[in-house]
């Protein structure tokens, strides 16, 4: 059942629930499948091309951003559900039956259309792009990239779903919100080429590769989540043509997850104060990321950097032993993170905050290590000392008790 959920293949009879409390956490239960498919992607890529589909530094960066994006959910319920439930309780016009297949299919279309609208606005409104660009910052394209998410994006996407709260029960909405997200995992790969007639209706790896490209023909195309029909209807569809070069038109060149989250906001802040005129200042926030005084809303297409085919991804040299070190310690942090998710209801808020703080410190340290920054060594020594002290005091624990001594070593 969980495998079918990953492909939006659970029928209404198996995924309709009367109350919100009955809705499974499909995303958390899909983690083993994420790991399995990533392993399969690596195996297939190696067999076909004798090369791996990504790099260690970029992979750690993507997973770090994925973990970071989920940490707020440890502290409080998703704002998407909180806002939806509020509108449902106070403003709904009528109530569609939760167990009707028609409600299920209508919600599928509604959630996917809301995602298209939000996704398109996230590319066309600078302040929304500042959050969303994190997902596009990888210069590799693999299943790790699917997990590369923004901390801030959920605080801008929730409003696009609210019209459905006027008539669609929260339990039905919560299912499709997860399914729409899960579906988009498997389309982040180069291993799958074309899918024949399905390309006309569904968002596929081929369509989504275009969306992640920085080639001029790829910019602002293929916004769909599960379905590609919205792009075909509204003129934002583009088929895969020339070889796609991935990443941002102006790469951030960092593996530090905090830097990747905040640098675009700092750019908007600086541009806001440097741009003369009140209306122009508002345009900095609400027009496209390529806008400037005297330019059209979305900027000038001719200013998009030309792709030569000789682009080199940001890839600082790091000794092999340091890559191994980072991988081992990152695995420890992933273990601590998953144990936190499993036990957070039994922990005091202080302990939860302490663990979250340590996880963030670790992810930043790993990012600096992957960039071979001079300050990384000092930060890593501090991080390890903090770990030993807090672990000895009993505030951390592994899911695997037999690893306790190994972690201290």
Q: What is the DSSP letter of 401?
A: G
Domain assignment present for residue 116? The answer is: yes
Domain assignment present for residue 66? The answer is: yes
Strand, coil or helix: what is 94? coil
Q: Choose one of 186, 215, 234: the last residue of a domain.
A: 234
For residues 45 and 179, state if they share a domain: yes
For residues 208 and 337, state if they share a domain: no
For residues 89 and 227, state if they share a domain: yes
Domain assignment present for residue 281? The answer is: no
Domain assignment present for residue 291? The answer is: no
- What confidence tens digit (pLDDT) does each residue in 300-330 have? 999 999 898 889 999 999 999 999 999 999 9
Residue 126 exposed, middle or buried by CB count within 10 Å (0-12, 13-18, 19+): buried
For residues 88 and 212, state if they share a domain: yes
Q: Choose one of 234, 255, 282: the last residue of a domain.
A: 234
For residues 338 and 193, state if they share a domain: no
Domain assignment present for residue 396? The answer is: yes
pTM of the model: 0.93
Q: Choose one of 234, 253, 282: the last residue of a domain.
A: 234
User: Cβ neighbours of residue 392 under 8 Å, at least 6 residues apart?
Assistant: 408
Could you tell me the two tokens for 343? 């036990």
For residues 227 and 324, state if they share a domain: no
Find the mean pLDDT for residues 65-76: 88
Give the pLDDT confidence score for residue 77 in this predicted structure: 73
Domain assignment present for residue 165? The answer is: yes
Nearest of 192, 183, 148, 243 to residue 53 by alpha carbon: 192
- What confidence tens digit (pLDDT) does each residue in 92-140 have? 999 999 999 999 999 999 999 999 999 999 999 999 999 999 999 999 9
Range of the domain at 182: 1-234
For residues 52 and 147, state if they share a domain: yes
For residues 220 and 350, state if they share a domain: no
Domain assignment present for residue 65? The answer is: yes
Give the pLDDT confidence score for residue 383 in this predicted structure: 95
Confidence of residue 216 (pLDDT cuts 50, 70, 90): very high
Nearest of 175, 158, 157 to residue 106 by alpha carbon: 175
* 36-43 contacts, C-beta under 8 A, 24 or more apart: 37/143, 37/185, 37/186, 38/142, 38/143, 38/144, 41/142, 41/143, 41/189, 41/191
Confidence of residue 279 (pLDDT cuts 50, 70, 90): very high
If one counts the domains in the chain, the total is: 2
């Amino acid at each position: 059942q969980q495998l079918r959920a990953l492909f939006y293949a659970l029928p209404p009879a198996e995924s309709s629930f009367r109350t919100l409390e009955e809705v499974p956490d499909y995303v958390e239960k899909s983690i083993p499948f994420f790991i399995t498919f990533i392993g399969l992607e690596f195996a297939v890529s190696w067999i076909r091309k004798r090369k791996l589909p990504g790099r260690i530094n970029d992979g750690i960066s993507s997973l770090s951003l994925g973990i970071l994006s989920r940490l707020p959910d440890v502290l409080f319920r998703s704002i998407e559900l909180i806002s939806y439930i509020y509108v449902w309780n106070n403003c709904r016009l009528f109530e569609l039956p939760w167990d009707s297949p028609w409600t299920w299919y209508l919600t599928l279309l509604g959630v996917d259309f809301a995602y298209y609208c939000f996704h398109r606005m996230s590319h066309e409104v600078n302040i929304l792009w500042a959050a969303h660009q994190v997902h596009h910052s990888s210069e590799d394209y693999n299943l790790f990239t699917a997990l590369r998410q923004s901390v801030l994006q959920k605080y801008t996407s929730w409003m696009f779903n609210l019209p459905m709260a006027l008539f669609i029960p929260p339990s039905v909405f919560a299912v499709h919100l997860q399914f729409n997200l899960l579906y988009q995992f498997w389309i982040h790969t180069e291993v799958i080429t074309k899918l024949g007639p399905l390309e006309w209706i569904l968002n596929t790896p081929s369509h989504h590769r275009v969306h992640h490209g920085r080639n001029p023909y790829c910019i602002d195309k293929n916004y769909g989540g599960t379905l590609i029909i919205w792009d075909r209807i509204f003129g934002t569809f583009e088929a895969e043509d020339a070889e796609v070069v991935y990443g941002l038109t102006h790469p951030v060149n960092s593996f530090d997850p905090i830097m990747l989250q905040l640098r675009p906001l700092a750019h908007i802040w600086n541009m806001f104060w440097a741009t003369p005129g009140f209306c122009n200042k508002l345009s900095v926030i609400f027009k496209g990321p390529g806008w400037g005084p005297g330019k059209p809303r979305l900027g000038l297409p001719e200013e998009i950097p030309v792709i030569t085919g000789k682009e080199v991804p940001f890839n600082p040299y790091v000794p092999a032993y340091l890559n191994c070190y980072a991988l081992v310690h990152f695995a420890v942090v992933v273990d601590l993170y998953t144990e936190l998710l499993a036990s957070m209801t039994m922990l005091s808020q202080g302990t939860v905050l302490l663990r979250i703080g340590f996880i963030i410190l670790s992810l930043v340290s790993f990012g600096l290590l992957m960039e071979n920054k001079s300050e990384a060594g000092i930060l890593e020594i501090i991080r390890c000392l903090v770990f030993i002290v807090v672990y000895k005091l009993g505030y951390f624990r592994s899911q695997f008790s037999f690893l306790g001594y190994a972690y201290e070593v």
